[in-house]
Structure 1
Amino acid sequence: MKTAFITGITGQDGSYLTELLLDKGYQVHGVLRRSSMIDRPRLDHLTRDPEIYGKRLFLHYCDLDDTTTLRRLLRDIEPDEFYHLAGQSHVGVSFEIPESTCEFTAMATLRILEVLRDLEKVPRFLTTGSSEIFGAPDIAPQTIDTPMRPVSPYGVAKSFAVNITRVYRDSFGMFACTAICYNHESERRSPSFVTRKISRAVAEFEAGRTEKLALGNLDVWRDWGYAPEYVEAMWLMLQTESAEDFIICTGQAMSLQEFLSAAFEHAGLNWRDHVEIDPRFIRPNEPVSLVGDPERATQSLGWTAKIKGAAVARMLVDADRKILD
């Protein structure tokens, strides 16, 4: 039985990755912030199962700046694989809290790598990057060789994490890699993100909501996929012979306006009747077009995104209809 260690286990990606690893026969350990709420809705179906929790799934309290506790846990558990998924993940919010974004997204990655390389048994390590590392790229689609030009504190923090992971791989011979994930959504995405904000509003408009949906710039292009497929790519990356960074994406560009239109049309609605543009939601510096090239992931990992763009929008609307019901 392989053992995996996950930071950010209560998040969207962490919860899907936990399910995937358990299905593959892993023992899974995850860490929680000491300030975490008792309710963990993305994991409740697992923690309430006596055949899983305490037998194959274990949760531990450990803040990412508490290296003493982290080191003790890793020495006791001796994981085969380490998935670092935790961090402040909201791009817009990073402009309001840039220091803590960099602390928990950039510096936490460095601290973890330092702890790992001192272990007697060094696990394979994966962290997640973001399309935001490319910022305002001159080319589309972006590849692993596209220069990093981040335009947000979040993007800067993620680019540091990508580069420091590469440094530890090259300098210390660690199996350390980054899954540079483009936008990937699901019903477990927080409603504070624009995709869930849209799908939830569509379900509410069907149910009689009258208040307008306020959004920012609609003329931005993104590469939207489905989160459960992306965590499979993360797992595949740690099964390869040697560590490499990969772009994980659909390769399909779609504007936010098109995503919005697909979500509303799925409910037989016209978004123009229900949406207003609010300057408060326009970021100080917004990448216009972020779309990745998935070819290397397809060739090397045998991985291809199946649910893309408009299909993601429709899936989220259906999920929010069920939640509202």
Structure 2
Amino acid sequence: MTGQDGAYLARFLLEKGYHVLGAVRQTSAVNMSRLEELTISSEIELIGLDLLEFETIVRAVERIGAAEVYNLAAQSSVQSSFEQPLFVSDCSGMGAARILEALRIVNPAARFFQASTSAMFDNAGATSRNEASRFQPQTPYGVAKLFAHGMTVNYRQAYGLHASAGIMFSHESPLRSEEFVTRKITVGLARIKHGLLDVLELGNLDACRDWGYAPDYVEGMWQIVRSENADDYVLATGETHSVREFATLAGAALGFDLDFRGTGTAEHAFDLKSGRTIVRINPRLMRPVDLGSMRGNAEKARDLLGWKSKTAFAEMVTLMAEADERRVRDTRQ
């Protein structure tokens, strides 16, 4: 509930008139910042839940009796998944299986949504991926998510649960965690503009993603759950953009005119207005395995659900950059 998608989904469902309960990890400190930024923290009910403990999930399912269950929980940092492969496998993979089994036993009438990911696809061949494309994940995160996705399909087929998955390509927003490259860029450039950082260090500038806007995607989640028949759908924009493009647009939104020069690890971004180096490459930020350029084909979601990504890439980048500049400016006052 307290993550990017959880916060936006909670707001969306509240606007639809739902009574919304959100699961949070059973820790002493709960980060409410996203819910507070969306001004909905007082409108939802939080429940403690541990995806590693089946009994706590069963008890929660028994007590709540929810009509719809959205599993957005995961250890979602691809980089961190290389450092914690066992934990990400248990949390992101087995966690979904525990929820599905609890629903099968206690509340089989509930509709279930699994947040699947484009990281499940292979890294070769055609750049466009749809629901029939081959899965061959390249990261521990993708492997764990593929297991969760497969269990969702299995519980639908074997037990008749209304269990669906949204195979979502990257989706960003001002609520994205700063460990993701998109927020790292917008936060870093905002700090440079206000004199709090000298230079932004990035990894692979050529990495390309199909980046959409998170509020558009949570609406797709709801449409998938509300569809008459459970199924799996790709949610994507159908466009790809590089990290370099993202940084250039974010810089423009904050008043920089970035000119990328050099090649390889020597590449850097020079601001034509100030004459300063704003971005440089740090080889230590390169991933052990990086996905190539890949875009999603959301034709099925468009045709059967009427869903499409509404927010243009440049508009999303500008929204994120301006939000981070406001945050940086407010902390200095």
Give the TM-score category using the shorter length. over 0.9
Q: TM-score, normalised by structure 1?
A: 0.92
Counterpart CA distance in 2 for 1:36 and 1:177 is 32
Specify the alignment match of 2:2 in structure 1.
Answer: 10
Conserved in 2, the CA contact under 8 Å of 1:78 and 1:121?
A: no
Conserved in 2, the CA contact under 8 Å of 1:224 and 1:312?
A: no
Specify the alignment match of 2:301 in structure 1.
Answer: 297
Amino acid at match of 2:34: R
Counterpart CA distance in 1 for 2:30 and 2:243 is 35
Specify the alignment match of 2:193 in structure 1.
Answer: 206
Counterpart CA distance in 1 for 2:132 and 2:27 is 39
CA offset at residue 46 of structure 1? 2.4
Specify the alignment match of 2:16 in structure 1.
Answer: 24
Match of 1:145 among 114, 132, 152: 132
CA offset at residue 254 of structure 1? 0.8
Counterpart CA distance in 1 for 2:124 and 2:151 is 21
Match of 2:92 among 105, 113, 125: 105
Specify the alignment match of 1:315 in structure 2.
Answer: 319
Specify the alignment match of 2:106 in structure 1.
Answer: 119
Counterpart CA distance in 1 for 2:31 and 2:170 is 26
Counterpart CA distance in 1 for 2:291 and 2:197 is 31
Counterpart CA distance in 2 for 1:11 and 1:206 is 27
Counterpart CA distance in 2 for 1:16 and 1:36 is 23
- Asked if residue 268 in structure 1 is aligned to residue 220 in structure 2, the reply is no
Q: TM-score, normalised by structure 2?
A: 0.90
Q: How does 1:1-325 map to 2 (within 5 A)?
A: 9-35=1-27, 37-44=29-36, 45-47=39-41, 49=42, 52=43, 57-271=44-258, 272=269, 273-325=277-329
Counterpart CA distance in 1 for 2:81 and 2:31 is 25
Unmatched runs of 5 consecutive residues or more in structure 1: 1-8
Inter-CA distance 220–28: structure 2 relative to 1 (3 Å threshold): same
CA-based RMSD: 1.3
Inter-CA distance 277–34: structure 2 relative to 1 (3 Å threshold): same
CA offset at residue 36 of structure 1? 5.2
Conserved in 2, the CA contact under 8 Å of 1:135 and 1:152?
A: no
CA offset at residue 261 of structure 1? 1.1
Conserved in 2, the CA contact under 8 Å of 1:135 and 1:155?
A: no
Inter-CA distance 101–36: structure 2 relative to 1 (3 Å threshold): farther
Q: Deviations over 1:20-73 (max 9, x none)?
A: 1111111111111112524411123323x3xx3xxxx21111211222222122
Between the aligned residues of both structures, percent identity stands at 38
Conserved in 2, the CA contact under 8 Å of 1:225 and 1:309?
A: yes
Give the aligned length.
310
Stretch deviating more after TM superposition (279-288 or 206-215): 206-215
Q: Deviations over 1:128-163 (max 9, x none)?
A: 011111140311211111101111100111111111
> Runs (4+) of structure 1 moved beyond 6 Å?
none
Amino acid at match of 1:278: N
Amino acid at match of 1:46: I
Inter-CA distance 224–318: structure 2 relative to 1 (3 Å threshold): same
Counterpart CA distance in 1 for 2:79 and 2:287 is 6
